[in-house]
């Protein structure tokens, strides 16, 4: 049985080898890291020669490979490498992608997994279904040691990236003079609404996602995402403050965002109208508080001056102010 | 009775002396392909027939497979009992941790190489079964307002598409026989198959399995890199390679205790419980010859696996290496 499979594999190998330039296998340096590099170069060569799908291109492909090793020794190693138990074609191509894009592959799997969240919730099953939709085995979910937390955090960072793009685009348009500059209150309102609308497709399972974000080992990451998002919104709103205002503004926006998100979770009105009304009211409150604070400050100053005046008058009357 | 006990004591003292001498020799000459009292043979034979280590002996490569086969043929009957005795039952925890890290999804296919008596496969089937139960319960729980008719309609749809199965592959027929007996006594009827095969040349086609495990078996393989390449071949893209193996203890105090325990206690247990000193001597020596965590990680990466990581259990006594075919 094993011999039969060996024969089949040898046949496949020989067919694959017909495209490769044959060279005598010379002494290959035994250093493991160098051999690993040659092995990779050889695999890349094989990959490129197979993807080119023509026998004559293999000699030209040697000059296009990305390693710094010499072309002719790499050719010889193609021979050497392919004479070992060689890997099947598909794995070489995936392997070639992999050397540059391990994180990108994880991002791709998680993005694919988002499709299955409505079915399986924010869980490892959704990630497994996402991996399978990409043609990978469900065992690749083992790469995600944080499980559902990875999925939720990936989604959040995707939403934040989208929001930043939209805000930058609007900013550009204002710079180019194609759009009016919005007032701060309106700007904040629109930014929060845009951001929260990204949750609408997942709104049934969003409470589960929020509870995952509140797990102790996820809190640092979720706070980091929240704070960068709030910072980005204020930056594009035009805030360049360098004093205590920096903190108060961000704190206010964080409170606004979180409360609106909670309201959205149990909102059942058409197109979440109640949520946007709530948001409007809260922003109005903030604006009112700001003006009230300013008024209080000026009133306070006026009152203080009045009191000072009264005190001086009293001192004059009692004769304490005389210089002797 | 007294004579046999005296004989036993004399054998123990003689063999433990030999152990101490050979460990002293080998530790001083560690790097290299051959060491121990037979190094002269190595130097003369290096050109023609390749030698490898069999415990602390040096043997020709062709012979190692045969001798390993004999070792496991001898220990097969008492393998599980000896595992419990030698590791004080901790090997069960190690295997449970392997399953926990693996976290297999329902529908996965497992290849359990050097699976012998089937410990990993039984745990795998159990784990997947419980996962499926939990999923079913969750699916039903979310639809509590359904009538009994709807619920009964849901049942057949769940099971059909995802059937997880496990293939136990071992080079040794005796170990597989013991495993089959265990499966029968546990009442496992479906989802298991028993295949005789060599880890260096697996009798399976490419891209077949989701997960490949080899628990406490890879140190007995003559050409470890060939076994790793075979693992790479039979795994599907996205598949996971997991290897549970004895490894290097980092803590020096624990290392001394571990060495003393390995060389003094384990062969004695082997003699008393299984009546076979030499096999357990080989077992302990083969652990010392196995590369350490970082080196083995490098070997796995050489075979083409990505995202390779290892976890130490019990302070480094056992290490779990995991890699992905991406």
Percentage with pLDDT > 70 across chain A: 69
For A56-81, write each residue's pLDDT tens digit.
444 444 444 444 444 444 444 444 44
**CA distance, residue A212 to nearest chain B CA (Å):** 17
- State whether residue B101 sits within 8 Å of chain A by CB: yes
DSSP state of A183: P
Residue from A138, A146, A150, A204 to probe the interface with B (highest B Cβ count within 10 Å) = A138
- State whether residue B200 sits within 8 Å of chain A by CB: no
pTM beyond 0.90: the answer is no
Tell the residue number behind the tokens 């080196």, with chain if given: B295
Q: CB–CB of B104 and A139 under 8 A?
A: yes
- Is the predicted pLDDT of residue B30 greater than 50, yes or no? no
Residue B204 has a pLDDT of: 93
Strand partners, B59: B52
Cβ neighbors of A113 (< 8 A, separation 6 or more) are A126, A127, A129, A130, A131, A151
Strand order in the sheet with B306-313: B192-196, B165-170, B109-113, B209-215, B235-246, B318-324, B306-313
Strand partners, A112: none
Residue B74 has a pLDDT of: 81
Q: CB–CB of B326 and A32 under 8 A?
A: no
Q: Spell out a b/e string for B165-196, using b for 16 or more CB atoms within 10 Å of the CB, else e.
A: bbbbbbbbebbbebbeeebeeeebeebbebbe
- Is the predicted pLDDT of residue A110 greater than 90, yes or no? yes
Residue B255 has a pLDDT of: 92
Compare all CA atoms of chain B with the CA of A87 and give the residue at the minimum distance. Answer: B233
The token duo for A284 is: 């109005």
Residue A48 has a pLDDT of: 47
For A216-254, write each residue's pLDDT tens digit.
999 999 999 999 999 999 999 988 889 998 999 999 999
Q: How far is CA A32 from the centre of its chain?
A: 36
Relative to beta strand B209-215, strand B235-246 is parallel
DSSP B50-100: -EEEETTEEEEHHHHHHHHHHHHHHHTTTHHHHHHHHHTTHHHHHHHHHHH
Q: Which of residues 233-262 of B touch A (CB under 8 A)?
A: 233, 235-240
User: What's the pLDDT band for B158 if we cut at 50, 70, 90?
Assistant: low
Residue A103 has a pLDDT of: 87
Compare all CA atoms of chain A with the CA of B237 and give the residue at the minimum distance. Answer: A136
Chain A hits for B204, Cβ within 8 Å: 5
Tell the residue number behind the tokens 């384990």, with chain if given: B266
Cβ neighbors of B306 (< 8 A, separation 6 or more) are A95, A98, A102, B323, B324, B325, B326
Percentage with pLDDT > 70 across chain B: 79
The token duo for B224 is: 């470890």
Residue B104 has a pLDDT of: 92
- Is the predicted pLDDT of residue B203 greater than 60, yes or no? yes
Cβ neighbors of A249 (< 8 A, separation 6 or more) are A234, A239, A241
By Cβ distance, the residue of A2, A32, A94 closest to B302 is A32
Strand partners, B98: none
B55 against B45, higher pLDDT: B55
Q: CB–CB of A137 and B104 under 8 A?
A: no
Helices A206-213, A148-175: crossing angle, 10 deg rounding: 100
Q: Are A152 and A122 in contact (CB under 8 A)?
A: yes
For B95-114, write each residue's pLDDT tens digit.
999 999 999 998 899 999 99
Compare all CA atoms of chain A with the CA of B213 and give the residue at the minimum distance. Answer: A139
Please list the alpha-helical segments (H only) found in chain A.
2-17, 32-52, 57-64, 71-83, 89-100, 102-113, 117-120, 124-133, 148-175, 184-197, 206-213, 219-237, 244-265, 273-318
For A173-228, write each residue's pLDDT tens digit.
999 988 888 898 999 999 999 999 999 999 999 999 999 999 999 999 999 999 99
- Is the predicted pLDDT of residue B41 greater than 50, yes or no? no
Distance CA A225, CA A233 (A): 12
Chain A hits for B110, Cβ within 8 Å: none
User: What's the pLDDT band for B13 if we cut at 50, 70, 90?
Assistant: low
Residue A161 has a pLDDT of: 96
Distance CA B34, CA A141 (A): 41
Residue A86 has a pLDDT of: 40
B14 against B263, higher pLDDT: B263
**CA distance, residue B2 to nearest chain A CA (Å):** 53
Q: CB–CB of A140 and B324 under 8 A?
A: yes
For A117-169, write each residue's pLDDT tens digit.
998 899 999 999 999 999 998 899 999 999 899 999 999 999 999 999 999 99
Taking CB atoms and an 8 Å cut-off, how many pairs form between chains A and B? 103
Q: How far is CA B106 from the centre of its chain?
A: 23
Mean model confidence pLDDT for chain B: 82
Residue B111 φ then ψ, to 5°: -110, 115
Compare all CA atoms of chain B with the CA of A136 and give the residue at the minimum distance. Answer: B238
For B64-95, write each residue's pLDDT tens digit.
888 888 888 888 888 888 888 888 899 999 99
- State whether residue B198 sits within 8 Å of chain A by CB: yes
Chain A hits for B200, Cβ within 8 Å: none
Q: CB–CB of B306 and A131 under 8 A?
A: no
Compare all CA atoms of chain B with the CA of A119 and give the residue at the minimum distance. Answer: B139
Give long-range contacts, CB 8 A cutoff, 24+ apart: A17-20: A17/A82, A18/A55, A19/A49, A19/A50, A19/A54, A19/A55, A19/A58, A20/A45, A20/A46, A20/A49, A20/A58, A20/A78, A20/A79, A20/A82
Query: How many alpha carbons fall within 13 Å on the CB side of residue B229?
Result: 17
Strand, coil or helix: B280: helix
Residue A32 has a pLDDT of: 36
- What is the average per-residue pLDDT within A272-294? 93
ipTM metric: 0.73
H helices then E strands: how many in chain B? Answer: 13, 9
Q: Are B301 and B241 in contact (CB under 8 A)?
A: no
Q: CB–CB of A137 and B226 under 8 A?
A: no
For B285-302, write each residue's pLDDT tens digit.
888 889 999 999 999 999
By Cβ distance, the residue of B105, B232, B298 closest to A141 is B105
Q: CB count, 10 Å around CB of A223? A: 12
Tell the residue number behind the tokens 């997880």, with chain if given: B164
Q: Are B169 and B111 in contact (CB under 8 A)?
A: yes
Q: Report in angstroms the alpha-carbon separations of B256 from B12, B228, B251, B317.
A: 20, 31, 9, 12
Q: Are A290 and A283 in contact (CB under 8 A)?
A: no
């Amino acid at each position: 049985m094993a011999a039969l499979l060996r024969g089949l594999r040898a046949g496949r190998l020989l067919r694959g080898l017909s495209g490769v330039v044959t060279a005598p296998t010379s002494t290959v340096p035994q250093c493991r890291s160098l051999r690993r590099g040659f092995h990779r170069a050889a695999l890349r060569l094989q990959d490129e020669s197979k993807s080119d799908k023509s026998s004559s291109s293999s000699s030209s492909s040697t000059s296009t490979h990305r390693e710094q090793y010499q072309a002719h020794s790499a050719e010889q190693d193609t021979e050497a490498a392919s004479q070992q138990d060689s890997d099947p074609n598909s794995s070489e191509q995936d392997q070639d992608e992999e050397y540059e894009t391990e994180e990108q592959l994880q991002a791709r799997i998680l993005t694919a997994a988002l499709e299955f969240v409505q079915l399986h919730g924010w869980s490892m099953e959704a990630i497994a279904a996402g991996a399978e939709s990409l043609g990978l085995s469900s065992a690749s979910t083992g790469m995600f040691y944080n499980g559902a937390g990875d999925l939720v955090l990936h989604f959040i960072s995707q939403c934040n990236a989208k929001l930043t793009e939209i805000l930058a685009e609007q900013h550009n348009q204002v710079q180019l003079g194609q759009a009016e500059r919005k007032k701060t209150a309106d700007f904040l309102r629109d930014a929060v609404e845009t951001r929260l609308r990204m949750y609408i497709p997942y709104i049934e399972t969003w409470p589960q996602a929020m509870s995952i974000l509140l797990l102790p080992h996820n809190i640092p990451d979720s706070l980091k995402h929240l704070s960068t998002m709030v910072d980005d919104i204020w930056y594009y709103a035009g805030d360049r403050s360098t004093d205590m205002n920096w903190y108060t503004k961000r704190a206010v926006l964080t409170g606004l965002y979180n409360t609106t998100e909670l309201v959205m979770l149990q909102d059942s009105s058409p197109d979440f109208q109640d949520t946007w009304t709530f948001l409007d009211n809260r922003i109005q409150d903030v604006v009112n508080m700001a003006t009230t604070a300013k008024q209080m400050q000026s009133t306070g100053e006026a009152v203080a001056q009045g009191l000072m005046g009264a005190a001086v008058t009293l001192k004059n009357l009692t004769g304490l102010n005389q210089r002797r | 009775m007294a004579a046999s006990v005296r004989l036993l004591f004399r054998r123990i003292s003689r063999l433990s002396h030999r152990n101490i001498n050979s460990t002293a020799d080998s530790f001083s000459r560690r790097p290299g392909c051959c060491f121990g009292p037979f190094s002269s043979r190595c130097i003369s034979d290096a050109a023609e027939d390749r030698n490898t280590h069999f415990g602390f002996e040096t043997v020709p490569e062709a012979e190692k497979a045969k001798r390993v086969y004999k070792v496991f043929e001898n220990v097969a009957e008492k393998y599980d009992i000896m595992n419990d005795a030698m590791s004080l039952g901790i090997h069960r925890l190690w295997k449970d941790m392997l399953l926990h890290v693996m976290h297999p999804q329902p529908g996965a296919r497992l290849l359990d190489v050097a699976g012998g008596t089937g410990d990993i496969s039984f745990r795998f089937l159990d784990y997947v079964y419980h996962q499926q139960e939990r999923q079913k319960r969750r699916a039903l729980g979310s639809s509590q307002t359904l009538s009994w008719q709807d619920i009964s309609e849901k049942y057949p749809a769940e099971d059909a598409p995802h059937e997880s199965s496990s293939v136990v592959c071992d080079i040794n027929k005796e170990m597989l026989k013991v495993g089959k007996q265990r499966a029968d006594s546990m009442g496992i009827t479906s989802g298991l198959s028993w295949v005789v095969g060599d880890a260096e040349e697996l009798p399976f086609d490419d891209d077949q399995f989701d997960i490949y495990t080899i628990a406490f078996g890879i140190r007995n393989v003559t050409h470890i890199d060939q076994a790793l390449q075979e693992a790479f071949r039979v795994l599907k893209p996205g598949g996971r390679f997991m290897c549970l193996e004895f490894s290097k203890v980092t803590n020096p105090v624990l290392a001394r205790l571990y060495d003393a325990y390995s060389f003094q206690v384990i062969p004695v247990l082997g003699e008393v419980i299984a009546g076979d000193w030499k096999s357990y001597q080989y077992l302990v020596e083969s652990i010392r010859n196995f590369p350490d965590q970082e080196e083995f990680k490098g070997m796995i990466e050489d075979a083409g696996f990505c995202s390779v990581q290892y976890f130490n259990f019990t302070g480094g006594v056992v290490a779990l290496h995991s890699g992905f075919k991406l």
